[in-house]
Structure 1
């Protein structure tokens, strides 16, 4: 039987974005073995509703959805498919099944920049969104968004009109997308979703959709948001996965529409002043993945890549020489006993994090998954541990123990 049938059947039983698929299957040798054990009721940890669905939903239902998807030009990718994005395999709760329109081949050799903001962006934010979409696209980046109204759709439309590649991560059923006057991401790149109209499940929460957006992008630019903006959840997901986050400074510091940006900048997020801010950081990750286009001179004064190559080379040279001097002057290491940490004043959640970090540095996303805590609670606990000198922030948005 097609392995995709087993994976899709699991989604029909547990629902999309449900981490229990991974928790319960961890000790199984194969997906097929796990599915058969579920069908036969041999998994004692199942809830009553899960047990009922496992017994009542036939494998033929998964086969039918795969067939219907094919007729609509929608591909079904399971976790075991070769085409399944490697970037998604690296997150704590990867989707068991993805529905895809278009192709994701660009993930192998292009940077993906996500643009997010308000559903009702100001005139200023609309101008900035257009500027970001054009300059990033002209330098070879794929423009991604969550396809929500406002900033997301504006970025998709601008990129599509300019002929740039786009990626839409949809929060609704993939076959429910109505193009209308808006651009279809699949025509210029790809569109993905964890949902299909044939699946009788409510759409995942924004936090669950957000994990896919931040996993697939290399950088996120947040254009506008109030202190209650749902876009802040996307920014937190970006931080927890260790991705580059840029924030457009508020157009008016007295306007509540921009308070979300002010909060992020206070937390130390990178300000977005021009496209150079993003392109310079991306150049450290692989200059060959950027494509300078002369038309970008209309929007930016980069001119050529010497701006990146000179600074990157100088930085590497400085690090190399500094490392050499440090190595020459370093005394012989001496073994000293590690002090025993007093954890008596910590709560159980904080103690769990300390024990977990003894295995080595981790992203907040990993810590959240392994402790079973909400990402917001995990970030709060990490902040307190860092203030009390138990934990230290490391490069790449990772956390480790303070020595």
Structure 2
């Protein structure tokens, strides 16, 4: 049995938290030692309960065999927390992943000025323009750009960095063989070719909403600083910023109009001490003394020679939304959620109109919309208006 099989057995064993796995790896030299340990020895692990120790009695490795075969078929590398190539910058956070799946070539993060660029999926043209410009400037200035490959700001920042010929990394909340969102297929391939795709989830793992807040700690943990381009008052990007602060990393933000809902989170971050950013050197200048041979002021202040957002809107085809089958009900939707999805259109609608159309009580409508937004099946727009983000099939 290869050593990696034991790692996969430990990381995929149902019921164990990442903190429990890390505690076991502090007590035992390797996962193989955990696999063969006596139950009483397992109970000597700091913080472990009898219920958790009981889970380790499951020695089935068929799932590990399947994952190893998938990784070989997909040409994915496995990087364990004990490997020399695992970034120390990530290893030293509070809750580092025990195992990473990698497609492409992982940058030497400990020797790089890497910057995470994050923001809302439902961004404005201003947010897209800023993300592309700053992604370009960061890459042209010598930084590694890290993002999440989500719609909106993430994708725009990665596109900008790729146009500059820079090194990029995308951290996913799903398996590396799952392209999400589907319209990012070409961007997905470009990122893998120019840098790396990373995930702590095995191949085949779907993009569940609960994965993304967990994924954020990896993005900030790999980087010296996190830049928030555009974020409303409640945004996953603000979770990443909070995680960065907990990890002792720097946080930067792009200011926006005081009455713009998509900029509320950024403006508050700046008010609370985040670095205000108008060009990439506002960030890279902070790290030039540490990386004098890598960071370039001239590159960071270059302007990408690409069409503006409004011009591209007229020339590029509109992305086709993903499809959701109501008959298969892959998202385990409730009757209220299905009814609301059928009532919604691609044009934003007021909650009051949805209540009238569906005859569902207000409390249930708001609850259902919250879940649908978390699952990225609907998007919220200014004025508490909602639009369907997927195509429906029966």
> TM-score, length-normalised on structure 2?
0.68
- Name the SS of the counterpart of 1:221 in structure 2: strand
2:273 to 235, 258, 268: 268
> Which whole-Å CA distance do the structure 1 matches of 2:178 and 2:42 have between them?
35
Larger Rg: 1
- Give unmatched runs, 5+ long, in structure 2: 305-394
1:149 to 138, 148, 151: 151
Count of matched residue positions in the alignment of Structure 1 and Structure 2 = 297
Q: Match of 2:318? A: none
Distance change >3 Å, CA 243–CA 128, structure 1 → 2? same
* Residues 281, 300 of structure 2: 8 Å contact kept: no
* Residues 222, 246 of structure 1: 8 Å contact kept: yes
- Name the SS of the counterpart of 1:288 in structure 2: coil
1:289 to 291, 294, 299: 294
Q: Match of 1:51? A: 54
Q: Match of 2:264? A: 259
> Which whole-Å CA distance do the structure 1 matches of 2:17 and 2:79 have between them?
14
* 2:231 matches 1:225: yes
Deviation at 1:156, TM superposition (A): 1.4
* 2:78 matches 1:86: no
Distance change >3 Å, CA 75–CA 263, structure 1 → 2? same
Q: Match of 2:130? A: 128
- Name the SS of the counterpart of 1:175 in structure 2: coil
> Which whole-Å CA distance do the structure 1 matches of 2:248 and 2:186 have between them?
35
Distance change >3 Å, CA 5–CA 202, structure 1 → 2? farther
In the TM superposition, what are the counterparts of 1:305-324 in structure 2 within 5 Å?
A: none
Distance change >3 Å, CA 35–CA 118, structure 1 → 2? same
Distance change >3 Å, CA 13–CA 46, structure 1 → 2? farther
> Which whole-Å CA distance do the structure 2 matches of 1:235 and 1:181 have between them?
28
2:76 to 68, 74, 77: 74
Please provide the CA RMSD for this pair: 2.8
> Which whole-Å CA distance do the structure 1 matches of 2:236 and 2:303 have between them?
33
* Residues 89, 110 of structure 2: 8 Å contact kept: no
Distance change >3 Å, CA 202–CA 114, structure 1 → 2? closer
Report Cα offsets for 1:127-167 as digits up to 9, x if no partner.
11111011111111111101111110111122223322110
Deviation at 1:21, TM superposition (A): 0.8
In the TM superposition, what are the counterparts of 1:203-214 in structure 2 within 5 Å?
A: 204-214=210-220
Q: Match of 1:110? A: 112
* Residues 111, 141 of structure 1: 8 Å contact kept: yes
> TM-score, length-normalised on structure 1?
0.67
Deviation at 1:180, TM superposition (A): 2.5
Deviation at 1:15, TM superposition (A): 6.3
Deviation at 1:89, TM superposition (A): 1.2
> Which whole-Å CA distance do the structure 2 matches of 1:147 and 1:47 have between them?
40
Q: Match of 2:251? A: 245
Distance change >3 Å, CA 20–CA 202, structure 1 → 2? farther
Distance change >3 Å, CA 33–CA 271, structure 1 → 2? same
Distance change >3 Å, CA 210–CA 17, structure 1 → 2? farther
- Give unmatched runs, 5+ long, in structure 1: 300-403
Distance change >3 Å, CA 209–CA 17, structure 1 → 2? farther
- Name the SS of the counterpart of 2:185 in structure 1: coil
Report Cα offsets for 1:255-291 as digits up to 9, x if no partner.
2221111221221111112222112101132212224
> Which whole-Å CA distance do the structure 2 matches of 1:22 and 1:239 have between them?
22
Q: Match of 2:283? A: 278
